[in-house]
Amino acid sequence: MDNNLVEIYATTHYNKCNKHNDIYIRKNLPCPYPNCENGIKEDKFIDFEYKIQDKKVTKEIKHLYTRKKFKGIENDYKYIWLKEDDLFPSISNIIVNEVHVINKWNIIESIYHYTKLDNLYSILNSNELWLTEYTAQTDSIEIVLGFDLFSKYDKNDINISKKLFSKNLSFFLTCFSYESECRTLFNLYSDYSQGVSIEFDSNFNIDNNFWYSDDQLLQLMPVIYDDQIQRKIVDYCIYLFNVSEKWIDMSKDTFNNKNELITKYKRKEVIKIFFKNKMEELLSFFKHYSYKDEREVRWLYRKDDEFINEYYGECLNKRSDERTKKTYYTSTDIARKLSPSEEKINLKLPIKSITLGTNIQDKDKIICKIKDLLKNNCYENVEIKVSTLPY
């Protein structure tokens, strides 16, 4: 490695830039935007990372970061520090962030789950949401829409397989809406307004592990109905895939921990696998515009055995997969799968309020029952409201 490079121990020295707060700027790195007061003038630097083994700090690894320029989904120029030996997390973060921008997801603070009264009671008692297998949902055919759209524009031979219908890949999801009081949804999912809409805090995401996971298998996002935007997202992802291949071509050689060269060809193959997974996930948020009134926000868990076995090892996969034959996962199953910490597994669902449908009989009695359940299950500050929708 070049000895004249600037060295930075980023963990203690830099904070996130408040001028350029794109989420893909890794916390604690200097700001990647040139001429920014929170950045550095050099286009490359080395970061230290300390490894703790057997309670001792044993190893110090250096990563090379290079400033890269690319286009955002709205054609504006953006910058990133690219960790050359570990390119995919950056690419994936860019994709997610740009899709959030075009989806206006960053400004939504609450999402609403419409359901029947009995389901509300079991959600409160169990502190769990159920994510049901996609194929068990009525609109499973919808997923084909995104896959077809992608293959139409795929000139890179990325060739996203429809392994959705194989045993190795399945999607589990639960549906919300960003509409707080919607007659259609009250009718469809809340027993003709005899049920409730439960408001959740969509910003609640302690240490990235409630709504989203670091490995990107868990994602919360509004469904995309507009076919222009669907096309734009597909185009953008393909653009970024091409950019990432160029970045690999321009990068220095990288080596594995046995000091063997990882060829650029091999690195491109790896990127392609990650990219395919990312696309499969994104496409499962595409839906036909005729459903647009539902304003759906989907909480989606991608259960991809092939991917998990290859990148995390079979034992991790087996550890948490007693439910292989089940058609649903609970939010606790998923938390357990993604984090071994008991504290996180026992997090209270981020419920902000509960709105009773107009047609609920005996509202006072039901409100008392809900209040008791909230209290007995240690939920705090949950407001109870009655829908103002005329029936």
**Which amino acid is present at 202?**
S
Alpha-carbon separation of residue 349 from 47, 53, 220 (angstroms): 37, 35, 15
Beta carbon nearer to Zn ion, 30 or 195: 30
Q: How many helices (H) and strands (E) does the chain have?
A: 12, 15
Question: Binding residue for Zn ion (CB under 5 A) from 38, 122, 194, 251?
Answer: 38
* Shortest Å, Cβ 14 to Zn ion: 10
H-type alpha helices, 114-173: 117-126, 142-153
Give whichever of 35 and 388 is closer to Zn ion, judged by the CB atom.
35
Tell me if 232 sits within 8 A of 74, measured CB to CB: no
Q: Which stretch binds Zn ion (CB under 5 A): 35-43, 86-94, 170-178, 202-210?
A: 35-43
How many chain residues are in contact with Zn ion, going by CB under 5 A? Answer: 7
Closest CB to Zn ion among residues 20, 336: 20
50: its two tokens: 């300390």
With CB under 5 A as the contact rule, which of the stretches 38-46, 84-92, 108-116, 274-282 interacts with Zn ion? 38-46
Closest approach, Cβ 40 to Zn ion, in A, equals 11
Interface of this chain with Zn ion, residues 254 to 283, rule: CB under 5 A = none
- Which of 5, 23, 28, 36 binds Zn ion (CB under 5 A)? It is 36
Nearer to Zn ion, 34 or 340 (CB): 34
Q: Which is nearer to Zn ion, 10 or 120 (CB)?
A: 10
Closer to Zn ion by CB, 20 or 264: give it.
20
Sequence-separated (6 or more) residues with CB below 8 Å from residue 31: 14, 17, 19, 20, 25, 38, 39
Q: For 25-54, give the DSSP string.
A: S-TTSPB-STT-TTB-S-SEEEEEEEEEET
Through-space distance between the first and last CA atoms of the chain, rounded to whole angstroms: 71
Instruction: Report the distance separating Cα 356 and Cα 354, nearest Å.
Output: 7
Scan residues 15-34 and list those touching Zn ion (CB under 5 A): 17, 19-20, 31, 33
Enumerate binding residues for Zn ion (CB under 5 A).
Answer: 17, 19-20, 31, 33, 36, 38
